[in-house]
Structure 1
Amino acid sequence: MAALPQQGLTIGDLAARTGLAVSAIRFYETHGILAPLRNEGGHRRYARSDIRRISFVIAAQRLGFPLAEIAEHLAHLPPHKALSKADWQRISTAFGQEIDRRIADLQRLRARLDGCIGCGCLSLENCHLYNPDDAAAAGGPGPQRAYHD
Structure 2
Amino acid sequence: MKSSRDRTWSVGEVAQRFDLPTNVLRHWESVGLLTPARDSADRRRYARADIVRVAAIQRNKDAGMTLDQIAVLLDAGAPERHAVLQAHLDDLDRRMEQMRISREMTEHSYNCKAHDIGACPGFQRHVSDLMGAFE
TM-score by length of 1: 0.52
CA displacement 1:67-121 (0-9 Å, x = unmatched): 11101221348xxxxxxxxxxxxx89x74x33442235986xx9xx635627645
- Three-state SS of the structure 1 residue aligned to 2:42 is coil
- Bigger proportion of residues as helix: 2
1:114 to 113, 116, 128: 128
1:11–1:22 Cα contact (<8 Å) kept: yes
Classify the secondary structure of the residue corresponding to 2:14: helix
For 2:47, what is the secondary structure of its paired residue? coil
1:1-149 correspondence runs (5 A): 8-76=8-76, 95=85, 97-102=86-91, 103=93, 114-115=128-129, 117=131, 120=134
Contact 2:11 2:25 in 1 (8 A): yes
5+ residue gaps in structure 1?
1-6, 78-90, 122-149
Gaps of 5+ in 2: 1-6, 102-126
TM-score, structure 2 length as denominator? 0.56
User: Equivalent pairs: percent with the same residue?
Assistant: 26
What is the letter of the counterpart of residue 117 of structure 1? M
Count of aligned residue pairs for this structure pair: 98
8 Å Cα contact 2:8/2:48 also seen in 1: yes
Contact 2:8 2:47 in 1 (8 A): yes
